[in-house]
């Protein structure tokens, strides 16, 4: 986390709380979500999702039009966003980035769109294939993953000797970008952006978007044995996004319509035109 990022609304330790014995309806919903995600996300499942979504034939629309669809999305995995549509969080994150990095407009836009891949859920995808923390499939899950190894009970990859060891189907220091991550909005948006021929977001933005939900790596230091030297250099950009992503959540709603003209200018510069989804 950037040293400049301070939580809004509540202490840092009050964010990302996951109860093994849920005491609220929200916590029960979050636990149910992760148990489903961990049971269903396998190597084969991720490959099926890539085949389904990376044809980019679900819609064609500009960034702000797609972002408006997140008004319909309530993230089942997030213990900090009860009854808050994801579009609110998008603008909160962007405005926090704008406050912290006034001279880096590409970071403002990165904050705005970082969760835009969640539009898959609006188009009917199950949430366990869209939201939540990410982690590599094809190797033994880290104990630091939310709810631990117990939550992976019933996942067939844990019985497969090709996938149930520390390295699994990978090599040490192969690079984070060489891992097959659990399918999510992170990878989807990353692929959408690199498929868009006029996208001018820098590599740092694309990297941060692609791995901003990889909390076992960024929060707990898990999977460092897969890191390359490039990953070590790029790590700080994930953390800059994560700080504004996590700690901008508050009860104060942004004035979205007033903010749109500023962000439309950034979109026109960095991700112009109709985008294939």
Q: In the chain, what are the domain boundaries?
A: 43-276
Looking at residue 26, what is its pLDDT?
A: 74
CB neighbour list of residue 199: distance below 8 Å, 6 or more residues apart: 193, 270, 271
Looking at residue 269, what is its pLDDT?
A: 99
Looking at residue 90, what is its pLDDT?
A: 94
Distance separating alpha carbons of residues 185 and 132, to the nearest angstrom: 9
Burial class (CB in 10 A: 0-12, 13-18, 19+), 79: buried
Closest CA to 67 of 181, 184, 189, 204: 189
Average pLDDT, the chain: 91
Q: Which residue's entry shows tokens 């969080």?
A: 89
Buried b / exposed e along 127-160 (16+ C-beta atoms within 10 A) = bbbbbbbbbbbbbbbbebbbbeeebbeebebbee
Looking at residue 81, what is its pLDDT?
A: 56
Looking at residue 73, what is its pLDDT?
A: 87
Torsion angle of the four alpha carbons 47, 52, 54, 56, in this order, in degrees rounded to the nearest 10: 180
Looking at residue 167, what is its pLDDT?
A: 99
H/E segment holding residue 215: helix 215-218
Annotated binding residues for substrate, written as ranges, equal: 16, 75-77, 118, 132-133, 212-213
Annotated binding residues for Fe cation, written as ranges, equal: 89, 114-115, 185, 212, 245
**CA 185 from centroid of its chain's CA atoms:** 6
Annotated binding residues, written as ranges, equal: 16, 75-77, 89, 114-115, 118, 132-133, 185, 212-213, 245
Looking at residue 3, what is its pLDDT?
A: 36
Spans in the chain with pLDDT lower than 70 = 1-23, 79-83, 245-251
Looking at residue 248, what is its pLDDT?
A: 54
Looking at residue 22, what is its pLDDT?
A: 67
């Amino acid at each position: 986390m950037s040293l400049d990022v301070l939580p809004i609304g509540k202490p840092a330790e009050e964010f990302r709380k996951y109860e093994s014995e849920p005491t609220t309806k929200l916590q029960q919903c979050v636990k149910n979500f992760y148990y489903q995600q961990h049971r269903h996300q396998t190597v084969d499942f991720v490959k099926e999702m890539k085949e389904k979504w990376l044809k980019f034939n679900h819609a064609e629309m500009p960034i702000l039009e797609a972002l408006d669809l997140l008004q319909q999305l309530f993230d089942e995995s997030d213990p900090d966003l009860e009854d808050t549509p994801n579009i609110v969080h998008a603008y909160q994150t962007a405005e926090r980035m704008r406050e912290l990095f006034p001279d880096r407009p590409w970071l403002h836009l990165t904050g705005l769109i970082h969760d835009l891949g969640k539009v898959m859920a609006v188009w009917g995808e199950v949430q366990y294939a869209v939201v939540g923390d990410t982690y590599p499939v094809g190797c033994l899950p880290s104990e630091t993953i939310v709810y631990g190894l117990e939550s992976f009970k019933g996942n067939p990859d844990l019985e497969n000797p090709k996938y149930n060891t520390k390295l699994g189907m990978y090599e040490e220091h192969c690079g984070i970008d060489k891992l097959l991550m659990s399918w999510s909005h992170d990878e989807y948006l990353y692929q959408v952006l690199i498929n868009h021929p006029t996208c001018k977001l820098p590599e740092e933005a694309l990297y941060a978007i692609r791995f901003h939900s990889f909390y076992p790596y960024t929060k707990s230091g898990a999977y460092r044995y897969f890191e390359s030297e490039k990953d070590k250099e790029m790590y700080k950009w994930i953390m800059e996004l994560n700080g504004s992503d996590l700690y901008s959540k508050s009860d104060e709603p942004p004035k979205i319509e007033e903010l749109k003209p500023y962000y439309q200018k950034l979109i026109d510069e960095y991700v112009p035109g109709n985008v294939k989804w």
